[in-house]
Protein backbone atom coordinates (compact mmCIF):
# COMPACT_ATOMS: atom_id res chain seq x y z
CA UNK A 1 0.00 0.00 0.00
CA UNK A 2 2.64 2.49 -1.07
CA UNK A 3 2.18 6.18 -1.59
CA UNK A 4 2.67 5.86 -5.30
CA UNK A 5 -0.24 3.47 -5.63
CA UNK A 6 -2.57 5.38 -3.36
CA UNK A 7 -1.89 8.53 -5.31
CA UNK A 8 -0.23 8.03 -8.68
CA UNK A 9 0.64 11.69 -9.12
CA UNK A 10 1.81 12.60 -5.66
CA UNK A 11 4.25 15.47 -5.64
CA UNK A 12 5.34 14.87 -2.10
CA UNK A 13 8.49 13.49 -0.56
CA UNK A 14 7.78 10.18 1.20
CA UNK A 15 9.94 11.44 4.06
CA UNK A 16 7.41 14.21 4.71
CA UNK A 17 4.71 11.61 5.28
CA UNK A 18 6.76 9.72 7.78
CA UNK A 19 7.70 12.82 9.74
CA UNK A 20 4.21 14.26 9.85
CA UNK A 21 2.71 11.01 11.07
CA UNK A 22 5.41 10.44 13.68
CA UNK A 23 4.99 13.95 15.02
CA UNK A 24 1.22 13.70 15.17
CA UNK A 25 1.33 10.36 16.96
CA UNK A 26 3.84 11.63 19.50
CA UNK A 27 1.59 14.61 20.11
CA UNK A 28 -1.46 12.46 20.74
CA UNK A 29 0.05 9.51 22.60
CA UNK A 30 2.08 11.74 24.88
CA UNK A 31 3.98 10.00 27.62
CA UNK A 32 1.64 7.26 28.77
CA UNK A 33 -0.07 6.35 25.49
CA UNK A 34 -3.76 5.56 25.17
CA UNK A 35 -4.50 5.01 28.84
CA UNK A 36 -8.18 4.37 28.29
CA UNK A 37 -7.69 1.50 25.89
CA UNK A 38 -4.84 0.03 27.87
CA UNK A 39 -7.07 0.02 30.94
CA UNK A 40 -10.14 -1.44 29.30
CA UNK A 41 -9.22 -3.41 26.15
CA UNK A 42 -7.31 -6.70 26.43
CA UNK A 43 -3.89 -6.71 24.81
CA UNK A 44 -4.89 -9.45 22.40
CA UNK A 45 -8.27 -8.06 21.32
CA UNK A 46 -8.61 -7.41 17.62
CA UNK A 47 -10.66 -4.79 15.82
CA UNK A 48 -12.05 -4.21 12.40
CA UNK A 49 -12.71 -0.65 11.35
CA UNK A 50 -13.92 1.32 8.36
CA UNK A 51 -12.70 4.76 7.43
CA UNK A 52 -15.82 6.58 6.28
CA UNK A 53 -16.31 9.93 4.62
CA UNK A 54 -19.34 11.37 6.40
CA UNK A 55 -19.64 14.16 3.90
CA UNK A 56 -18.87 14.07 0.20
CA UNK A 57 -15.50 15.45 -0.77
CA UNK A 58 -12.15 14.83 -2.39
CA UNK A 59 -9.81 12.42 -0.68
CA UNK A 60 -6.31 13.44 0.35
CA UNK A 61 -4.17 11.82 2.97
CA UNK A 62 -4.90 8.13 2.59
CA UNK A 63 -1.19 7.21 2.58
CA UNK A 64 -0.86 9.03 5.89
CA UNK A 65 -3.71 7.02 7.34
CA UNK A 66 -1.88 3.87 6.34
CA UNK A 67 1.34 5.15 7.87
CA UNK A 68 -0.35 6.09 11.15
CA UNK A 69 -1.83 2.65 11.71
CA UNK A 70 1.31 0.81 10.59
CA UNK A 71 3.46 2.88 12.92
CA UNK A 72 1.59 1.54 15.93
CA UNK A 73 1.29 -2.00 14.63
CA UNK A 74 3.06 -3.04 11.42
CA UNK A 75 0.80 -6.09 11.19
CA UNK A 76 -2.37 -4.04 10.75
CA UNK A 77 -4.02 -4.91 7.43
CA UNK A 78 -5.45 -2.17 5.32
CA UNK A 79 -7.52 -2.29 2.16
CA UNK A 80 -8.09 0.96 0.35
CA UNK A 81 -11.23 1.51 -1.69
CA UNK A 82 -10.29 4.94 -2.93
CA UNK A 83 -7.21 6.86 -3.94
CA UNK A 84 -6.16 10.34 -3.08
CA UNK A 85 -7.71 12.69 -5.56
CA UNK A 86 -10.93 10.70 -5.81
CA UNK A 87 -14.21 12.48 -5.24
CA UNK A 88 -16.29 10.36 -2.91
CA UNK A 89 -19.94 10.58 -1.90
CA UNK A 90 -21.10 10.85 1.68
CA UNK A 91 -21.09 7.64 3.72
CA UNK A 92 -18.60 5.91 1.44
CA UNK A 93 -16.15 3.51 3.09
CA UNK A 94 -12.71 4.48 1.80
CA UNK A 95 -10.63 2.02 3.77
CA UNK A 96 -10.89 -1.17 5.78
CA UNK A 97 -8.54 -1.57 8.70
CA UNK A 98 -8.03 -4.75 10.73
CA UNK A 99 -5.62 -5.51 13.53
CA UNK A 100 -4.88 -5.21 17.25
CA UNK A 101 -7.69 -3.23 18.86
CA UNK A 102 -5.42 -1.08 20.99
CA UNK A 103 -3.39 0.01 17.97
CA UNK A 104 -6.51 0.74 15.92
CA UNK A 105 -7.93 2.90 18.70
CA UNK A 106 -4.56 4.47 19.45
CA UNK A 107 -4.01 5.74 15.91
CA UNK A 108 -7.66 6.60 15.18
CA UNK A 109 -7.65 10.31 15.97
CA UNK A 110 -4.29 11.00 14.33
CA UNK A 111 -5.36 9.21 11.17
CA UNK A 112 -8.65 11.08 11.04
CA UNK A 113 -7.15 14.46 11.85
CA UNK A 114 -4.67 14.09 9.00
CA UNK A 115 -7.20 12.75 6.53
CA UNK A 116 -9.82 15.31 7.52
CA UNK A 117 -7.48 18.27 7.23
CA UNK A 118 -5.96 17.29 3.89
CA UNK A 119 -9.25 16.17 2.39
CA UNK A 120 -10.68 19.47 3.57
CA UNK A 121 -8.04 21.31 1.58
CA UNK A 122 -8.56 19.06 -1.44
CA UNK A 123 -12.30 19.54 -1.28
CA UNK A 124 -12.06 23.31 -0.94
CA UNK A 125 -9.66 23.38 -3.88
CA UNK A 126 -11.95 21.22 -5.93
CA UNK A 127 -14.86 23.60 -5.38
CA UNK A 128 -12.83 26.36 -6.97
CA UNK A 129 -11.69 24.04 -9.73
CA UNK A 130 -15.24 23.13 -10.66
CA UNK A 131 -16.14 26.80 -11.04
CA UNK A 132 -13.44 27.33 -13.63
CA UNK A 133 -14.06 24.23 -15.70
CA UNK A 134 -14.06 25.01 -19.37
CA UNK A 135 -11.84 28.06 -18.92
CA UNK A 136 -8.09 28.31 -19.28
CA UNK A 137 -7.72 29.33 -15.64
CA UNK A 138 -5.97 27.05 -13.22
CA UNK A 139 -6.51 27.30 -9.46
CA UNK A 140 -3.39 27.60 -7.42
CA UNK A 141 -2.40 27.89 -3.79
CA UNK A 142 -0.23 30.36 -1.89
CA UNK A 143 2.22 30.24 1.01
CA UNK A 144 -0.65 30.91 3.41
CA UNK A 145 -0.59 27.36 4.72
CA UNK A 146 -0.83 25.81 8.15
CA UNK A 147 2.58 26.07 9.83
CA UNK A 148 4.29 22.69 9.75
CA UNK A 149 2.00 21.20 7.12
CA UNK A 150 2.96 23.10 3.99
CA UNK A 151 4.20 20.21 1.86
CA UNK A 152 1.17 18.14 2.81
CA UNK A 153 -1.30 20.93 2.11
CA UNK A 154 0.35 21.68 -1.24
CA UNK A 155 -0.08 18.01 -2.02
CA UNK A 156 -3.74 18.23 -1.02
CA UNK A 157 -4.22 21.16 -3.36
CA UNK A 158 -3.05 18.95 -6.21
CA UNK A 159 -5.37 16.16 -5.08
CA UNK A 160 -8.17 18.68 -5.43
CA UNK A 161 -7.17 19.53 -8.98
CA UNK A 162 -5.23 22.68 -8.20
CA UNK A 163 -1.67 23.70 -8.96
CA UNK A 164 1.12 24.73 -6.65
CA UNK A 165 2.63 28.13 -6.22
CA UNK A 166 6.03 28.46 -4.52
CA UNK A 167 6.75 25.92 -1.76
CA UNK A 168 8.83 28.46 0.13
CA UNK A 169 10.77 31.68 -0.12
CA UNK A 170 13.61 29.80 -1.76
CA UNK A 171 12.30 28.06 -4.87
CA UNK A 172 11.18 30.98 -7.02
CA UNK A 173 11.43 34.75 -7.05
CA UNK A 174 8.28 36.72 -6.39
CA UNK A 175 8.84 40.46 -6.53
CA UNK A 176 6.37 42.57 -4.55
CA UNK A 177 5.84 46.29 -4.03
CA UNK A 178 8.52 46.68 -1.39
CA UNK A 179 11.13 45.01 -3.55
CA UNK A 180 10.25 47.28 -6.45
CA UNK A 181 10.37 50.39 -4.31
CA UNK A 182 13.71 49.60 -2.69
CA UNK A 183 15.36 48.49 -5.91
CA UNK A 184 14.29 51.69 -7.65
CA UNK A 185 11.57 50.63 -10.01
CA UNK A 186 10.41 47.74 -12.13
CA UNK A 187 13.25 47.66 -14.62
CA UNK A 188 15.87 47.86 -11.91
CA UNK A 189 14.34 45.17 -9.76
CA UNK A 190 13.84 42.76 -12.64
CA UNK A 191 17.38 43.23 -13.86
CA UNK A 192 18.72 42.71 -10.38
CA UNK A 193 16.65 39.56 -9.94
CA UNK A 194 17.62 38.19 -13.34
CA UNK A 195 21.27 38.83 -12.61
CA UNK A 196 21.05 36.71 -9.48
CA UNK A 197 18.71 33.95 -10.48
CA UNK A 198 19.93 30.67 -11.86
CA UNK A 199 18.36 29.44 -15.07
CA UNK A 200 16.04 27.10 -13.21
CA UNK A 201 14.46 29.76 -11.03
CA UNK A 202 11.37 31.52 -12.27
CA UNK A 203 10.74 35.20 -11.67
CA UNK A 204 7.25 36.49 -11.04
CA UNK A 205 6.42 40.11 -10.37
CA UNK A 206 3.38 41.59 -8.71
CA UNK A 207 1.69 44.58 -10.32
CA UNK A 208 -1.12 46.76 -9.01
CA UNK A 209 -2.20 48.39 -12.22
CA UNK A 210 -1.95 48.25 -15.97
CA UNK A 211 0.76 50.88 -16.18
CA UNK A 212 3.01 48.67 -14.10
CA UNK A 213 2.10 45.71 -16.25
CA UNK A 214 3.08 47.65 -19.34
CA UNK A 215 6.44 48.43 -17.83
CA UNK A 216 6.98 44.77 -16.93
CA UNK A 217 6.21 43.73 -20.50
CA UNK A 218 8.60 46.34 -21.81
CA UNK A 219 11.43 45.04 -19.64
CA UNK A 220 10.63 41.48 -20.60
CA UNK A 221 12.47 39.50 -17.90
CA UNK A 222 9.52 38.17 -15.94
CA UNK A 223 8.36 34.57 -16.28
CA UNK A 224 4.96 35.38 -14.79
CA UNK A 225 3.01 38.39 -13.59
CA UNK A 226 0.75 38.53 -10.56
CA UNK A 227 -2.19 40.90 -10.86
CA UNK A 228 -2.72 42.04 -7.30
CA UNK A 229 -6.25 42.92 -6.28
CA UNK A 230 -7.22 44.14 -9.76
CA UNK A 231 -10.77 44.70 -10.87
CA UNK A 232 -12.29 42.17 -13.23
CA UNK A 233 -12.21 44.80 -15.88
CA UNK A 234 -8.52 45.48 -15.46
CA UNK A 235 -7.79 41.78 -15.45
CA UNK A 236 -9.50 41.51 -18.80
CA UNK A 237 -7.44 44.39 -20.15
CA UNK A 238 -4.32 42.83 -18.76
CA UNK A 239 -5.03 39.58 -20.57
CA UNK A 240 -5.47 41.50 -23.80
CA UNK A 241 -2.28 43.50 -23.27
CA UNK A 242 -0.20 40.47 -22.55
CA UNK A 243 -1.59 38.40 -25.39
CA UNK A 244 -0.06 35.20 -24.14
CA UNK A 245 3.49 36.46 -23.85
CA UNK A 246 3.66 35.64 -20.13
CA UNK A 247 1.34 33.76 -17.77
CA UNK A 248 -0.92 35.94 -15.66
CA UNK A 249 -1.93 35.11 -12.12
CA UNK A 250 -4.91 36.82 -10.50
CA UNK A 251 -4.58 37.15 -6.76
CA UNK A 252 -6.18 38.92 -3.83
CA UNK A 253 -9.48 38.25 -2.18
CA UNK A 254 -10.72 35.71 -4.71
CA UNK A 255 -13.68 33.73 -3.37
CA UNK A 256 -16.01 31.04 -4.61
CA UNK A 257 -18.40 33.87 -5.50
CA UNK A 258 -15.91 35.74 -7.64
CA UNK A 259 -13.82 32.98 -9.14
CA UNK A 260 -16.00 32.44 -12.20
CA UNK A 261 -15.78 36.10 -13.11
CA UNK A 262 -12.04 36.04 -12.59
CA UNK A 263 -11.71 33.02 -14.83
CA UNK A 264 -13.85 34.66 -17.48
CA UNK A 265 -11.13 37.27 -17.95
CA UNK A 266 -8.76 34.68 -19.38
CA UNK A 267 -6.07 34.81 -16.69
CA UNK A 268 -3.91 31.71 -16.56
CA UNK A 269 -3.92 31.24 -12.80
CA UNK A 270 -6.10 32.33 -9.94
CA UNK A 271 -4.58 31.89 -6.52
CA UNK A 272 -6.36 31.67 -3.22
CA UNK A 273 -5.00 31.44 0.30
CA UNK A 274 -8.34 30.37 1.65
CA UNK A 275 -8.11 26.86 0.18
CA UNK A 276 -5.31 26.16 2.62
CA UNK A 277 -5.63 28.55 5.54
CA UNK A 278 -9.38 28.46 5.96
CA UNK A 279 -10.61 25.18 4.52
CA UNK A 280 -12.87 23.37 6.97
CA UNK A 281 -11.87 19.78 7.71
CA UNK A 282 -13.73 17.12 5.79
CA UNK A 283 -15.86 15.09 8.18
CA UNK A 284 -14.32 11.63 8.26
CA UNK A 285 -14.83 8.93 10.85
CA UNK A 286 -13.74 5.48 11.90
CA UNK A 287 -16.46 2.93 12.50
CA UNK A 288 -14.98 0.30 14.76
CA UNK A 289 -16.01 -3.19 15.76
CA UNK A 290 -13.98 -5.01 18.36
| Interacting positions 39-98 with a copy of itself (CB under 8 A) | 39-45, 47, 72-73
Nearest to 59 by CA among 95, 102, 14: 95
Residue 233 designated active-site:
no
Element (H, E) at 79: strand 77-80
Mask 235-254, x = binds a copy of itself (CB under 8 A)?
A: ------------x-x-----
CA distances for 275 relative to 157, 162, 165, angstroms: 8, 10, 13
Query: Edge-to-edge strand order for the sheet containing 203-207?
Result: 138-140, 269-271, 248-251, 224-228, 203-207, 173-175
CB-neighbour burial class of residue 281 (10 A; exposed 0-12, middle 13-18, buried 19+): middle
Q: How many residues of this chain interact with a copy of itself, rule: CB under 8 A?
A: 111
Scanning residues 123 to 162, which ones bind a copy of itself (CB under 8 A)? 138, 140, 143-151, 154-155
Task: Establish whether 109 is a catalytic residue.
Answer: yes
Q: How far apart are CA 159 and CA 87, in angstroms?
A: 10
Q: Of residues 150, 166, 176, 236, which has the active-site annotation?
A: 176
DSSP code string of 240-263: HHHTTSS-EEEESS--TTTHHHHH
| Residue of 48, 55, 130, 166 that binds a copy of itself (CB under 8 A) | 166
Say how far apart CA 76 and CA 98 lie, in whole Å: 6
Nearer to a copy of itself, 89 or 169 (CB): 169
Among 53, 97, 117, 234, binds a copy of itself (CB under 8 A): 117
Q: Please select the residue that binds a copy of itself; options are 200, 233, 244, 257, rule is CB under 8 A.
A: 200
- The distance of closest approach from Cβ of residue 30 to a copy of itself in the complex, given in angstroms and rounded to an integer, is 4
Judged by CB under 8 A, the residue of 101, 122, 213, 263 near a copy of itself is 101
Contact predicate 170/150, CB 8 Å: no
Minimum CB distance to a copy of itself smaller for 81 or for 233: 81
CB 145, min distance to a copy of itself, A: 7
Catalytic: which of 130, 228, 236, 283? 228
DSSP structural state of residue 158: H
Stretch that binds a copy of itself, among 84-92, 127-135, 214-222, 272-280 (CB under 8 A): 272-280
**Which member of 1, 29, 98, 241 binds a copy of itself (CB under 8 A)?**
29
Separation between Cα atoms, residue 237 and residue 260, nearest integer Å: 17
Asked if 70 is an active-site residue, the reply is no
- Please pick, from the candidates 67, 85, 113, 128, the single residue that binds a copy of itself as defined by CB under 8 A: 113
Q: Which among 88-96, 126-134, 185-193, 233-241 is the span making contact with a copy of itself, rule CB under 8 A?
A: 185-193
Q: How far apart are CA 12 and CA 3, in angstroms?
A: 9
Using the rule CB under 8 A, give the single segment among 129-137, 187-195, 212-220, 227-235 that binds a copy of itself: 187-195
Cα gap 118→181, rounded to integer Å: 38
Residues marked active site are found at 109, 144, 176, 206, 228
Amino acid sequence: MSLSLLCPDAFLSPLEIDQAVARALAEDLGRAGDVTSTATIPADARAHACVVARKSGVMSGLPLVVAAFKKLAPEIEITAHARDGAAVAARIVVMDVAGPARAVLGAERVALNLLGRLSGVATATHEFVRRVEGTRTRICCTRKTTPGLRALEKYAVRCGGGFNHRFGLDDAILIKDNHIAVAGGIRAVLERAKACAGHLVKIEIEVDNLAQLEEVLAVGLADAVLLDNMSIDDMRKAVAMVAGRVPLEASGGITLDTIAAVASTGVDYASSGSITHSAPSLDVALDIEI
